[in-house]
Every structure is written in C-alpha cells, then in structure tokens.
Amino acid sequence: MKARSLTATFLLAASLGGCSDSEPIPPEEGTNAPIGELPERRATVSGVVYDPEAFFLTVLNFPGEVTPPPALFEDTPYLLFSAIPGATVRLAGSGSAVSSGASSFAGIWQVEGVPLDATTPYLAEAIPPAGPVEFFTEGAPFPLPPATHYPTTSLRPIQVNVNECTSQTAPMVGSAGALDAVAQYLTGEGTPTTVEQLLDPARTGGVVLFWVHPPSFFYDYFVIPLDSVVGETSAGTLLSVNWAPPGVGPPGQSPMGFFASPDPTGFFGYYALVLPPGLTTPVTVTFKDTYAPAPGEPPGPYGVRPLVIAPVTVQPRPGVSVQRVFAYPDPSLPAPPVDPLEDPPPPPLDERWLCQP
C-alpha cells in the first residue's frame, strides 16, 4: 500500500472518529467559574481635560449658520480646539491622591488604580504640562492668545464607588481669560493685582469660576450659555464675566476678550468668585434666572423661564476652581399629565459610570 494512501486513510479515519485521545473526554457540563484571590478592588477613572474658556470662544466664533451643538462630545470641533494635551489629572480624595499620565492630543486622561471610596468623593485637579499649553490651532475659529495655564480644580465631585468612572471633565484655565479680567478689575478698583497674586493663598482664599447653563439634553455635556442670571454670594466678591471681541470691549479686557463687572447679571452665565484669604467656612452662592418672558411667549427649548437654579455651596480652596451649574425647569409648574395606562418603560440604563454622588 502506498504511503500516501495510508496517510490519507489515517486522516480520514481520525476525522471520522475523532479518536486522537485514548480516553473519552467527559461531556462538558459547563465550566465553574474559577475562584481565586483577587487584588484589592481599584477603579479606573477617565475623561477629558480642556480649557472651558477656549471651548466657549470656539462655540461663539464657529463659522457657518448651522453649527454643532455646544456640547462636550467626543468629536466636536469645540473640544478639538480646546483640548489640552500633555496635562495630568490628579484625583484627590480622603486618602492619598492618584494621578493620570500625560493627556493625549485630544486631552484624554485616565487614572488607574483609584481606591474605591463610598463616602468621600474625589475632586479632579488638572495640572498643566511643563511649558505652554499647545492647543490644536489649524483652522481654529478663534486664535487663542499665549497664556500660562494653572492647576485647576473641578468642583464636580467624582464618587468612586464603582469600578469605572468615565467621561469625567477636568477644566483648566489660563492667564488670558477671566482670571486676567478679574485681576484687571481689582486693579482698577484700587487693589493692584496680577493673576499670580490672585491665585496666591496669601493674597486670596482662591478664585472659583462658575459657568451657569440651562438644562443639558445629554447628561451634563451640553454647556449652553444662559443669559439673564443674577449671582449673589455669602462671602467674597462675585463678579460677572462677560466677553467682547478683543479690543472691542470696555477697559480691563483680557487678551481673550473677557472683562469683569460688578453687575451681578451675566451676559452668558460666567461668574468669578474671589474669596478672602484665610476663609475656611463654606460659601453659599445663589444664582437666579431673571429672564421675564413676554406675555404669550412660548417656552424655549429648556422649558418655561425663569428656570430654577439650586444654591451652590463652595468649600474655599486656594488657587482656581471651576464649577458648572445647571438650571432646571421650575418644579412648581404643573407637570404633564401622567397616563395611567402607559406601559412600563424599558429598564433604565446602568449609569454608574457617571460617578455622581
């Protein structure tokens, strides 16, 4: 018999019978999940670091009649032109802080090995890269002036009691925006102040920048400016921050075009709170939507105005912090009638990745 014939026959026999094993393999009943000691549970936290003032100016100056919505979406051009590469994000909580590596070209950062904490939330501090921030500039609708960026704390708490917190935002501001406008305002008021002095714990109790927005359509990623909001604080100095094209606004305009005003009514919901040095007690800041609709005016896209804005409590901290504040429809207004025959909706999505307290 030819060797080739023998080989072919052997292969056929083996394939027919599947009998390469001398002992039958026991039928698979399924695999019990192997049990083993696991390392301590740690979370992964990730998000984007960006300059909210650069974002805002990109929105404001974006060309075309139909523009993308002002939202912190993954591929929006606004984030492209305001993302900060090379930054690190430090998560500070009740224990020792943990930091990310350098953020990517798109401002993406990720912190691994974050200890879980069901009680004390973390705050994200965006720390600038060594040297100036290098924004993506090709085709940018608003040329950003040179600036020094500062470590900036986001006051949106991150409650890390699940394994993953994603899409967290870490804003970082520089010297060419509201901080400069505030420093110029204080100087104009008779207290010569530089941005560095503004952030010096010996000179102030820190600066908090508030962005007040109407309700967001998708989590808290729509950051639409809200006009006609009046702010008031229980301590420190609250200034509204407004904007005009550089060189067009009033005296005291920053290189980006921002200027500060003691008028508590903001044009687009941007405010700066300068706290006195040494203050340790929490500060309450209240915002009120003063928009008065004309008789018969239909409700806007966010519902009937004026909107309601919950008071904000701020724990003083040195340096600069940023807080986004969202208004919401007046809960005292009559809600749409509930159809008692409405079918049960699908179960809610698992949104623990938001990591909100």
Partner 1 sequence: MISPFKSLLLTLPVLALITGCNLFDTSDAEGTRGRGATAFDPYDSSASGAISLSLLSFKGCAILPNGEPVTKGGLVLPNYPDACLNLNAAIPLTSAILPVPPSARMNVKPGELYFLREFSAVDLAHEVHTDYNDRRTPAAWARLQSDFKDLDWSGLTVGHDDWKVLDPGAMQRETYYENAAWMNSDTDTLLLEVLDADGNVRTSETYKRTDFMAENAATGHTRVSFVVAGLAPPRFPDDPVPVKAEGREAINYLSTVKVSFANSINPFKSFTMPDLRGEGLIRLTWSLMPLKPFLFPVTFVPENERPDSCFEMGPNGLPTDVAVRCGFGLKQSVVVAPPQNGRFLMPGESLDFVVALQDGDGHALHPRDTMPSFNDYMGDFSNGLAYFNSNMLINWRDTSASESGFKVVGPLQDLKVVNGAHTPPYFAFPTGVEPAYYIHPAAAYRPGGKSHRPNTRYTVELPPDAKPGTYALLLKGHRSYMGERLNRLDPFFFQVGQAEPTKYPNQIGNCQVCHNGPNSLSNLHHGVSVDHVETCKVCHYDESVGHVSDFMHRIHISSRKYAQNKGDCTLCHLTRESTLRPSLIACAGCHPGTHGNEYKHLEFENLASAPNIYGNCANACHVTTPPAEHVLPLR
Closest approach of partner 1 to the CB of residue 270, in Å = 20
**Contact between 42 and partner 1 (CB under 8 A)?**
yes
Q: Which two tokens stand for residue 63?
A: 């060309």
The residue (of 28 and 65) whose beta carbon lies closer to partner 1 is 28
By CB under 8 A, how many residues form the interface with partner 1?
Answer: 68
Binding range to partner 1, per CB under 8 A, among 108-116, 202-210, 241-249, 273-281? 108-116
From the number of C-beta atoms within 10 Å of its C-beta (0-12, 13-18, 19+), residue 286 rates as: middle
Backbone angles phi, psi at 5, to 5 degrees: -65, -40
Per-residue binding string, partner 1, 199-228, x by CB under 8 A, is -------------------xx-x-------
Buried b (16+ CB within 10 A) or exposed e, 198-217: bbeeebbbbbbbbbbbbbbe
The residue (of 35 and 202) whose beta carbon lies closer to partner 1 is 35
- Considering only 284, 320, 322, 347, the residue that binds partner 1 (CB under 8 A) is 347
**Contact between 87 and partner 1 (CB under 8 A)?**
no
Cα–Cα distance for residue pair 241/229, rounded to 1 Å: 12
Closest approach of partner 1 to the CB of residue 219, in Å = 7
**Contact between 333 and partner 1 (CB under 8 A)?**
no
Backbone angles phi, psi at 272, to 5 degrees: -125, 130
Cα–Cα distance for residue pair 181/194, rounded to 1 Å: 10
Closest approach of partner 1 to the CB of residue 341, in Å = 10
HEC-encoded secondary structure of 180-199: HHHHHHHHHCCCCCCHHHHC
Q: Which residue has the tokens 């019990």?
A: 32
Per-residue binding string, partner 1, 135-174, x by CB under 8 A, is ---------------------------xxx-xxxx-----
Mention every residue, 6+ apart, whose C-beta is less than 8 A from residue 232: 238, 264, 285, 286, 287, 288
Helix (H) or strand (E) holding 207: strand 207-213
**Contact between 28 and partner 1 (CB under 8 A)?**
yes
Cα–Cα distance for residue pair 250/351, rounded to 1 Å: 45
Closest approach of partner 1 to the CB of residue 67, in Å = 16
Closest approach of partner 1 to the CB of residue 31, in Å = 6
Strand, helix or coil for residue 233: strand
The residue (of 47 and 269) whose beta carbon lies closer to partner 1 is 47
Binding range to partner 1, per CB under 8 A, among 35-43, 145-153, 226-234, 300-308? 35-43
CB count within 10 Å of CB 219 equals: 13
The residue (of 13 and 292) whose beta carbon lies closer to partner 1 is 13
- Considering only 29, 65, 138, 339, the residue that binds partner 1 (CB under 8 A) is 29
HEC-encoded secondary structure of 256-321: CCEEEECCCEECCCEEEEECCCCCCCCEEEEEEECCCCCCCCCCECCECCCCECCCEEECCCCCEE
Per-residue binding string, partner 1, 46-85, x by CB under 8 A, is xxx-----------------------xxx----x------
Instruction: State the residues that interact with partner 1 by CB under 8 A.
Output: 1, 5-6, 8-10, 12-22, 24-38, 41-44, 46-48, 72-74, 79, 104, 106-110, 112-113, 162-164, 166-169, 218-219, 221, 343-347, 349-350
